[in-house]
Structure 1
Amino acid sequence: MTTLIAWIAFDNKFAAAYMASDSRITWDSQGVKRWDAGRKIFASKTYPDILGYAGDVVFPALALSQLIEAFDANTMFNSDATPWERHEIIKRSLKDSYAHRHHTDDRDFHILHLSRWDGEPRATVHAWCLEYAAAGKAWTDRVLEIPTSTGIIERIGSGVPAAKTHERLWAATYSREIFSSFCDAISSGTDSLSGGAAQLAGFYPRGVAKTFGILRDSKAFLNGLPVHAPISNSTIEWRDHLFQRIDISTGKLLEGAQVHTRPKGK
C-alpha cells in the first residue's frame, strides 16, 4: 500500500509544511511482487500545493500527474484562487475523471492535499484528505486539523503503525526528527508494503511548492527515481535521511549546513 505523511514545522512562527512517502508499488498483499521506484507525491511548480496518494495506484498516480500538469499550465483555476477554491476544483476534477472508467475494478484510495493561504497577517497551512471507498462507491472529503506547533498533520497507509513506532523512538518534536523517523520506518521493513527511497515535497511561508531530492546510502533519488550523481547543475534542494542539506555534486553537506545527529540508541 504505502506510508504517506504530512507535517508542519514552526520555529517561533510557521516555517514550512512537508509531505513524504515511500516509493513501493506492490502487486500482492505480502510485498513480494513490487516496484520500489514509483512516484507518489506531486508538487506544483506554480502554486503552494502538494498532492499525494495511498491505496490503489493506477487511477491516483495517473490522475494526479494530469492535475499537476494542468496546474502548472494555468488551466485549472485563476491565479488568485484560494486554497479552498483550488481544493474544490481538484475534487471535482478527480470525480469527473474517475467517472470515465469503464468495466474496471474498484479499489480504495486516499488523496492527500496540502496547501497554503497567503493571507494577512500571515500565511496559513490547510490540508484535506479525499477518500474513495470501493465497497459503497462513496467519496469522503475530510478537512484536516493543522497543529499550532511542529507536528504531524496526517498519516495514511499500511505503514502508519511503523511510522508511529519510530516517531516515539525519535521523540519526534522537530521537523528533522519527523522526517528521520519516517525514513527509519520505511527502511526497517516492518511494513512489507512500504519501501524504496523516501519522497519529499514541501513549501515555505512564501513561494511555490518544492520537490526535494533525497540522498540515501550515497545514492540520489528524485520522486523515487534513481538518478546518477554527481550532478553539478541541479536546481533543487537535496536532503539526506537526517534531513541535512546536501550538495548533491559532492554527496556531502552544503557549506554552512546544520549538522543533525541521531538520538542515543538509534
Structure 2
Amino acid sequence: MTTLVAWAAADKAGHTAIYLASDSKFTWPNLKKWNYGRKLYVTKKAAILFGYTGDVLFPSIFLGQLVESLESLNDHPKSAQELADAVVPILATSLAAYPSEPGVVSPGFQILAVMSIKEGVYFRFQCLIFEKMAGPRTELLYRILSIPDRGVFFVGGSGKSSYEKRLYSASREAGGFFYNDDGIATANSKASFWALADVVNNNDDVYTGGPLQMVGAFRNGLMQSFGHMRRGSHYHLGLQLPKEVAVNLNVTWHNDRMEVMDPATGELKIGAQKQPRK
C-alpha cells in the first residue's frame, strides 16, 4: 500500500535537503478506506526522517513508539550503520510478538530512514531501508542506500509505477529531466511533488489517496514537517485541522503545486513564488 517518495535537492556545494513525501490513505482487505493515516515521521533531536510502505498497521504503531524512544536517547546514532544496529533488535522483538491470524498471509513492509549527520559547519545525509517480506517469516533485512547528487532516489509502494509515469510528464512541465550522478534521468523538487499529487488527484492507484504529507531534512540541521492545503482544507501529516488551529501551527504550508501558501487566506503567501506548470 501507499506511495512513498524520497528525493534530494542540491546546489553547487552539494545536498541542500532531503525530502520524503507520501499519501495518507489506509486501506483494509475489504477495501474500506481511511484517508487520514500518518505515514511520515520526523525526529528533531535524533535528526531522522521515517516513512513506510506496505502494511500500514504495524509500521504506524511501531514508528510512533520508536520516534519517542530515539528522541529520549542521551547519545543518538551517528551513522546509518549505528542506526541499523540500534533499530533492528527493537524491530525484531516487536515484530516477533505481533499477532497474526491463522491462514492469513502476513503483509510485508518497508521502513525508509534518512539521517542528518553533522559534519563540520553543515550536515550530510545517509539513508537506509528496513524490510520485511510478506509471509509467515519475521526475518528482517536492511540495506544502506546511496543518495545521488540530486533528484528522486526512492519510490516504493503500490503506486510506484503510476508515480514513475507521472514523474515523466511533471518533469517536462517543470522544465525537463536532468541526469543524476548515476546517469539516471530524474526531476527537480517541484516535479517530484507534482507527480505524487497527480497520482492522487487522478486516482491512479486504488491504495494511494488523501492529502499529501511531506517532511524534510536540511543542510543547516533543520528537521521539518510541512502542512498541505487541499480543496480548501488544511492537513498536517494526514490529520485534518480546523482553520483556527492550522493558522497557529508553526509549519510551512504547500498546495499541490508545492507553492507556499498562507493558511489564513488560502492564497499564495505574500512574497512566495508561483510554480506554474507548462
TM-score (norm 1): 0.90
Going from structure 1 to structure 2, the CA distance change for 1:92 and 1:80 (only over 3 Å counts) comes to closer
1:183 deviates by 1.0
* Contact kept? 2:123, 2:221, Cα under 8 Å: no
Q: SS state of the match for residue 119, structure 2?
A: coil
Distance in 2 of aligned mates of 1:84 and 1:236: 31
Q: SS state of the match for residue 147, structure 1?
A: coil
Query: What code does the residue aligned with 1:24 have?
Result: K
Q: SS state of the match for residue 81, structure 1?
A: coil
Distance in 2 of aligned mates of 1:183 and 1:103: 34
1:200 deviates by 0.6
Going from structure 1 to structure 2, the CA distance change for 1:35 and 1:80 (only over 3 Å counts) comes to closer
* Contact kept? 2:228, 2:235, Cα under 8 Å: yes
1:80 deviates by 6.6
1:226 deviates by 1.1
The match for 1:48 is: 47
Distance in 2 of aligned mates of 1:139 and 1:79: 22
5 Å-filtered alignment, 1:3-152, equals 3-12=3-12, 13-28=14-29, 32-72=31-71, 74-75=72-73, 78-79=75-76, 81-104=78-101, 106-120=106-120, 122-135=122-135, 136-148=137-149, 150-152=150-152
Q: Is structure 2 residue 218 aligned with structure 1 residue 204?
A: yes
* Contact kept? 1:46, 1:208, Cα under 8 Å: no
* Contact kept? 1:49, 1:208, Cα under 8 Å: no
Cα root mean square deviation, aligned: 1.9
Instruction: Report Cα offsets for 1:99-145 as digits up to 9, x if no partner.
Output: 22245452211111111221147532211111101334322112112
Query: What code does the residue aligned with 2:140 have?
Result: W
Distance in 2 of aligned mates of 1:37 and 1:124: 32
Distance in 2 of aligned mates of 1:20 and 1:99: 29
Distance in 2 of aligned mates of 1:89 and 1:111: 14
Query: What code does the residue aligned with 1:51 have?
Result: F
Deviates more, 1:249-258 or 1:151-160: 249-258
5 Å-filtered alignment, 1:150-169, equals 150-169=150-169
Distance in 2 of aligned mates of 1:217 and 1:24: 17
Deviates more, 1:182-191 or 1:154-163: 182-191
The match for 1:221 is: 235
* Contact kept? 2:118, 2:221, Cα under 8 Å: no
Structure 1 runs (4+) greater than 6 angstroms displaced? none
1:83 deviates by 4.1
What stretches of structure 2 of length at least 5 have no aligned partner? 172-176, 178-186
Q: SS state of the match for residue 128, structure 1?
A: strand
1:192 deviates by 0.5
* Contact kept? 1:213, 1:239, Cα under 8 Å: yes
* Contact kept? 1:162, 1:190, Cα under 8 Å: yes
Distance in 2 of aligned mates of 1:210 and 1:68: 14
State the number of aligned residues. Answer: 258
Distance in 2 of aligned mates of 1:141 and 1:83: 10
Distance in 2 of aligned mates of 1:157 and 1:10: 25
Instruction: Report Cα offsets for 1:54-92 as digits up to 9, x if no partner.
Output: 1112211100000111122x23x5047344323321222
Distance in 2 of aligned mates of 1:17 and 1:238: 17
* Contact kept? 1:180, 1:242, Cα under 8 Å: yes
Query: What code does the residue aligned with 1:257 have?
Result: A
* Contact kept? 1:114, 1:126, Cα under 8 Å: yes
Q: Percent identity?
A: 29
* Contact kept? 1:44, 1:208, Cα under 8 Å: no
Distance in 2 of aligned mates of 1:53 and 1:79: 21
Instruction: Report Cα offsets for 1:186-234 as digits up to 9, x if no partner.
Output: 2211111110011111111122421111011221101111111144322
Going from structure 1 to structure 2, the CA distance change for 1:3 and 1:17 (only over 3 Å counts) comes to same
TM-score (norm 2): 0.86
